[in-house]
């Protein structure tokens, strides 16, 4: 092998190495910005200020933590808990539509998952049932 070839091989090895390091650095930066640390999880040293409270609690707990803010007072036109008139037209759309609105949100004012980011689809369906039952 000539010295020239060896130099090229060495150079490409060094370049490959620094390219990898660069990727790792970028991934690290993306992770820091996009990382969401769920309460109760080991968030490591890179814990971000954005911590979402994990609920995993009862329907009442989830309601009080995530939905009550808007649905108790009827903020931005949210159908009020226990208000039959508010819910009548909503219930008329069918439960599946209401479940879907809770899971995917209803722009502009009803947020995705009703802000309960630790809620599973099943949790959200239970919450909708709970709200609908409040007027039955």
Nearest one of 56, 59, 39, 61 to 48, comparing CA atoms: 39
Rule CB under 6 A: is residue 52 a binding residue for ligand HEC? no
Among 55, 80, 102, 118, binds ligand HEC (CB under 6 A): 102
Candidate ranges 9-17, 29-37, 46-54, 73-81; the one touching ligand HEC (CB under 6 A): 73-81
Spatial CB neighbours of 74, under 8 Å, sequence gap ≥ 6: 80, 83, 86
Rounded to the nearest whole angstrom, what is the least distance from the CB of residue 51 to ligand HEC in the complex? 18
Rounded to the nearest whole angstrom, what is the least distance from the CB of residue 123 to ligand HEC in the complex? 8
Rule CB under 6 A: is residue 98 a binding residue for ligand HEC? yes
111 torsion bin: left (phi>0), alpha (psi -120 to 50), beta (else): beta
Cα–Cα distance for residue pair 120/124, rounded to 1 Å: 6
**For the chain, counts of helices (H) and of strands (E):** 6, 2
Binding site for ligand HEC (CB under 6 A): 66-67, 69-71, 75-79, 90, 93, 97-98, 101-102, 106, 109-111, 114-116, 124, 127-128
């Amino acid at each position: 092998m000539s010295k020239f070839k060896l130099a090229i091989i060495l150079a490409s090895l060094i370049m490959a190495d620094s390219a990898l390091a660069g990727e790792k650095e970028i991934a690290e930066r993306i992770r820091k910005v996009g990382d969401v640390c769920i309460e109760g999880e080991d968030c490591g040293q890179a814990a971000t200020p954005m911590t979402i409270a994990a609920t995993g609690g009862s329907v009442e707990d989830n309601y009080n933590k995530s939905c009550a803010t808007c649905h108790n007072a009827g903020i931005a036109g949210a159908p009020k808990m226990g208000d039959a008139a508010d819910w009548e037209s909503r219930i008329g759309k069918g439960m599946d539509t209401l479940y879907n609105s809770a899971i995917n949100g209803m722009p502009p004012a009803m947020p995705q998952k009703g802000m309960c980011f630790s809620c599973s689809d099943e949790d959200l369906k239970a919450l909708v049932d709970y709200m609908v039952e409040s007027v039955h």
